[in-house]
């Protein structure tokens, strides 16, 4: 699930930021930033002085300009923070809309009812079949299925989730690829994976880093120091005037003192500190990276090269067939035809990619096989195979070890050529991101395919099929 990109100067975003900057004038919001709170207090004091002068007919241009500039400073700091927060909120809104479009089939009294995923509660039981989005975090209580968790982990290979053991946990937002499972919801509303992701994107749970805390303490200390300096100026001015015998020559009116204070304290740094932290998280979000803390944002700023420790992190969310290589005596077109036929009952991305590859390589159209004349064997997580029995011919396609077990169970023998091809491609999976798939036709010809996760940064080289009589 990928958040939508949001333009920095989007008109809707700017309108929202303007309104938020006014809302942030609330002292309860300003107190999180003591420097801006002090500036806002000075702006309020100067405004009161300006109104007093206006009623007395003594308002000067200096006081009017100072009032406008002080409020502009406060509003600009609020606006900068609101823009940074607004981008995160826009990303979170897109995730919330995706969440709202997810429905669940809840079991009540043995019957299924269709409800929104947001209406699920901890302890509810839902049914998920092939193609369904798992609506909430939970545990599998019945069945076994292949689940595509690439939206969560980035791993392209489907994983098996089954009841019991340590493989029963499922995550909301992942997709069931095959079979049927019953899931018991284990997360309360607002506590699931998608909800935690939304909170992180919104920045609601953003913790300040040690550097931010230290800088904040420094800014407060400097502001307090300069506040003390400015507060003593009227006394020094009166003392100097008394010594010189020239009363009233030093202007220490409230607007002048506030202007001096705002110039002395680190107003710019204090005003933009929060916006800098939030914009750092936003920059990572635009690159599809979610920072779980401010410390992670600071660390990301020092990274020049990122080394990833598993294949799925830099691959697309599915695996694709890339080549047909037949064994001796078997043509590549015959192999592609058998593999396509065996994939008719395979609804996984890998199975569909075989039909696409056969069409692209040999212009083989996907065939419609009438059910009365054919017995389909759908792909299942238990068997890791799919196929069809048609006209006395049994065609199977699946993982190498699964097909081998099926062949031996039928009284057949495993070809040494195919075994050698499997051993050749298997160790290369970590280097070339390829996985073997075997096609068996009537227990008389065995073919081998290599499927591969499509890389974003590296073009996949050819995989391998092999067949043997």
Tens of pLDDT, residue by residue over 172-220, are: 888 898 888 999 999 887 777 777 777 766 654 456 677 778 888 898 9
Check: CB of residue 251 under 8 Å from CB of residue 66: no
Position 437 pLDDT exceeds 50: yes
Q: Which residue has the higher pLDDT, 409 or 68?
A: 68
* pLDDT the model gives residue 461: 27
Check: CB of residue 458 under 8 Å from CB of residue 321: no
Domain count, the chain: 3
Please check whether residue 105 lies inside any domain of the structure.
no
> What percentage of the chain has pLDDT greater than the value 90?
13
Q: What one-character DSSP code corresponds to residue 25?
A: T
Give the Å distances, CA to CA, from 306 to 291, 294, 301, 302.
Answer: 15, 19, 12, 11
Position 6 pLDDT exceeds 50: no
Q: Which helix (H) or strand (E) holds 95?
A: helix 61-100
Residue 309 appears among annotated catalytic residues: yes
Q: Which residue has the higher pLDDT, 289 or 462?
A: 289
The residues with which 422 forms a beta bridge, in sequence order, are: none
Q: What one-character DSSP code corresponds to residue 345?
A: T
How far is residue 327's CA from residue 418's CA, in Å, rounded to a whole number? 8
> In terms of domains, do 453 and 382 share one?
yes
User: pLDDT-based confidence at 429, cuts 50/70/90?
Assistant: very low
Question: Residue 297 corresponds to which tokens in the numbers above?
Answer: 């944002």
* pLDDT the model gives residue 457: 28
Q: What is the pTM of this model?
A: 0.49
Please check whether residue 80 lies inside any domain of the structure.
yes
* pLDDT the model gives residue 187: 85
Helix, strand, coil shares of the chain, percent, nearest 5, are 50, 20, 30
User: pLDDT-based confidence at 1, cuts 50/70/90?
Assistant: very low
CATH code, domain with 455: 3.40.1110.10
* pLDDT the model gives residue 67: 93
How far is residue 304's CA from residue 309's CA, in Å, rounded to a whole number? 16
> How far from the centroid of its chain's Cα atoms is residue 47's Cα?
46
Q: Tell me which of 7-11, 114-118, 370-374 is least confident.
A: 7-11
Please check whether residue 107 lies inside any domain of the structure.
no
Q: Which residue has the higher pLDDT, 188 or 451?
A: 188
Question: Residue 138 corresponds to which tokens in the numbers above?
Answer: 């939970």
Write down how long the chain is: 469
When pLDDT is averaged across residues 92-107 and rounded to a whole number, the result is 75
The closest of 428, 429, 427, 425 to 438, measured between CA atoms, is 425
Mean pLDDT score of the chain: 77
> In terms of domains, do 395 and 459 share one?
yes
The closest of 448, 452, 453 to 465, measured between CA atoms, is 448
Please check whether residue 330 lies inside any domain of the structure.
yes
Final residue of a structural domain among 247, 273, 301 = 301
How far is residue 405's CA from residue 189's CA, in Å, rounded to a whole number? 44
User: pLDDT-based confidence at 371, cuts 50/70/90?
Assistant: low
Final residue of a structural domain among 188, 214, 230 = 188
> In terms of domains, do 325 and 461 share one?
yes
Interacting residues of 364 by C-beta distance below 8 A, sequence separation 6+: 333, 336, 337, 340, 358
> In terms of domains, do 322 and 387 share one?
yes
HSE toward the beta carbon, residue 249, CA cutoff 13 A: 9
Q: Domain range spanning residue 23?
A: 11-97+202-301
Q: Tell me which of 40-54, 230-244, 286-300 is least confident.
A: 286-300
Q: Tell me which of 216-225, 317-326, 379-388 is least confident.
A: 317-326
Please check whether residue 4 lies inside any domain of the structure.
no
> In terms of domains, do 286 and 320 share one?
no
User: pLDDT-based confidence at 154, cuts 50/70/90?
Assistant: low
Position 316 pLDDT exceeds 60: no
> In terms of domains, do 343 and 456 share one?
yes
HSE toward the beta carbon, residue 439, CA cutoff 13 A: 33
Query: Tokens 């709170």 label which residue?
Result: 37
pLDDT digits (tens, 9 = 90+) for 24-69: 888 888 888 888 899 999 999 999 999 999 998 888 899 999 999 9
Interacting residues of 161 by C-beta distance below 8 A, sequence separation 6+: 140, 144, 145, 146, 147, 167, 168, 169, 170, 181
* pLDDT the model gives residue 252: 85
> In terms of domains, do 206 and 159 share one?
no
First-to-final CA distance of the chain: 45
> In terms of domains, do 180 and 206 share one?
no
* pLDDT the model gives residue 157: 73
Please check whether residue 6 lies inside any domain of the structure.
no
> In terms of domains, do 252 and 391 share one?
no
At residue 445, what are phi and psi to the nearest 5 degrees?
-135, 130
Position 394 pLDDT exceeds 80: yes
User: pLDDT-based confidence at 11, cuts 50/70/90?
Assistant: confident
Question: Residue 159 corresponds to which tokens in the numbers above?
Answer: 């994983």
* pLDDT the model gives residue 466: 31
Position 448 pLDDT exceeds 60: no
The closest of 141, 191, 150, 189 to 173, measured between CA atoms, is 150
Q: Tell me which of 2-11, 85-94, 204-213 is least confident.
A: 2-11
Q: Three-class SS of residue 291? A: coil
Sign of CA dihedral 186, 192, 193, 196: negative
The closest of 397, 295, 263 to 342, measured between CA atoms, is 397
> In terms of domains, do 75 and 218 share one?
yes
Q: Tell me which of 92-101, 223-232, 297-306 is least confident.
A: 92-101
How far is residue 273's CA from residue 354's CA, in Å, rounded to a whole number? 53
Q: Give the DSSP letter string of 185-221.
A: E-S-TT-SHHHHHHHHHHTTTPPPPHHHHHHHHHHHH
User: pLDDT-based confidence at 230, cuts 50/70/90?
Assistant: very high
How far is residue 414's CA from residue 246's CA, in Å, rounded to a whole number? 112
Check: CB of residue 255 under 8 Å from CB of residue 261: no
Catalytic choice (124, 309, 346, 423): 309
What value, to the nearest 5°, has the Cα angle with vertex 200 and ends 288 and 277? 85
Q: Three-class SS of residue 459? A: coil
> In terms of domains, do 241 and 366 share one?
no
> In terms of domains, do 441 and 414 share one?
yes
Final residue of a structural domain among 301, 328, 359 = 301
The Cβ of residue 444 has, within 10 Å, a number of other Cβ atoms equal to 10
What value, to the nearest 5°, has the Cα angle with vertex 371 and ends 349 and 466? 45
Please check whether residue 195 lies inside any domain of the structure.
no
Please check whether residue 114 lies inside any domain of the structure.
no
Residue-wise over 319-335: b if at least 16 C-beta within 10 A, else e?
bbbbbbbbbeebebebb
The residues with which 439 forms a beta bridge, in sequence order, are: 397, 447
When pLDDT is averaged across residues 335-345 and rounded to a whole number, the result is 84
When pLDDT is averaged across residues 374-383 and rounded to a whole number, the result is 81
């Amino acid at each position: 699930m990928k958040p939508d990109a949001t333009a920095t100067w989007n008109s809707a975003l700017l309108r929202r930021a303007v309104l938020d900057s006014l809302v942030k004038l609330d002292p309860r919001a300003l107190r999180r930033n003591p420097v801006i709170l002090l500036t806002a207090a000075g702006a309020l004091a100067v405004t009161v002085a300006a109104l007093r002068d206006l009623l007395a007919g003594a308002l000067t241009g200096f006081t009017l300009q100072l009032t406008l500039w002080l409020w502009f400073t406060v509003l600009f700091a609020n606006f900068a923070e609101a823009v940074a927060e607004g981008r995160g909120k826009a990303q979170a809104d897109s995730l919330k809309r995706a969440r709202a479009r997810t429905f669940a089939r809840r079991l009540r009294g043995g019957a299924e009812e269709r409800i929104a995923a947001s209406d699920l509660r901890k302890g509810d039981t839902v049914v998920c079949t092939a193609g369904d989005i798992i609506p909430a975090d939970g545990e599998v209580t019945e069945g076994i299925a292949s689940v595509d968790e690439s939206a969560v982990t980035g791993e392209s290979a489907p994983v098996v989730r089954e009841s019991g053991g340590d493989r029963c946990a499922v995550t909301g937002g992942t997709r069931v690829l095959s079979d049927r499972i019953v899931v018991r919801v284990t997360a309360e509303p607002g506590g699931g994976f998608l909800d935690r992701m939304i909170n992180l994107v919104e920045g609601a749970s953003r913790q300040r880093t040690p550097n931010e805390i230290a800088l904040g303490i420094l800014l407060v200390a400097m502001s307090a120091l300069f506040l003390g300096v400015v507060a003593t100026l009227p006394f020094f001015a009166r003392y100097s005037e008394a010594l010189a015998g020239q009363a009233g020559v030093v202007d220490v009116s409230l607007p002048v003192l506030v202007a001096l204070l705002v110039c002395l304290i680190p107003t710019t740094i204090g005003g933009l500190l929060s916006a800098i932290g939030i914009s750092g998280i936003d920059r990572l979000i635009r690159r599809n990276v979610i920072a779980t803390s401010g410390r992670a944002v600071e660390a990301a700023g020092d990274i020049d090269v990122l080394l990833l420790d598993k294949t799925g992190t830099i691959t697309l969310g599915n695996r694709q067939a890339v080549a047909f290589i037949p064994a001796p005596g078997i043509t590549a077109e015959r192999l592609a035809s058998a593999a396509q036929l065996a994939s008719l009952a395979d609804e996984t991305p890998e199975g569909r990619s075989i039909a696409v590859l056969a069409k692209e390589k040999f212009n083989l159209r996907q065939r419609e096989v009438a059910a009365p004349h054919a017995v389909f064997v759908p792909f299942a997580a238990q068997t890791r195979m799919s196929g069809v029995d048609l006209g006395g011919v049994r065609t199977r396609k699946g993982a190498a070890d699964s097909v081998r077990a099926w062949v031996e169970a039928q009284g057949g023998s495993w070809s040494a050529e195919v075994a050698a091809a499997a051993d050749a491609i298997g160790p290369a999976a970590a280097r070339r991101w390829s996985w073997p798939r075997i096609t068996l036709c009537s227990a008389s010809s065995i073919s081998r395919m290599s499927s591969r996760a499509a890389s974003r940064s590296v073009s996949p080289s050819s995989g391998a099929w092999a067949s043997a009589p």
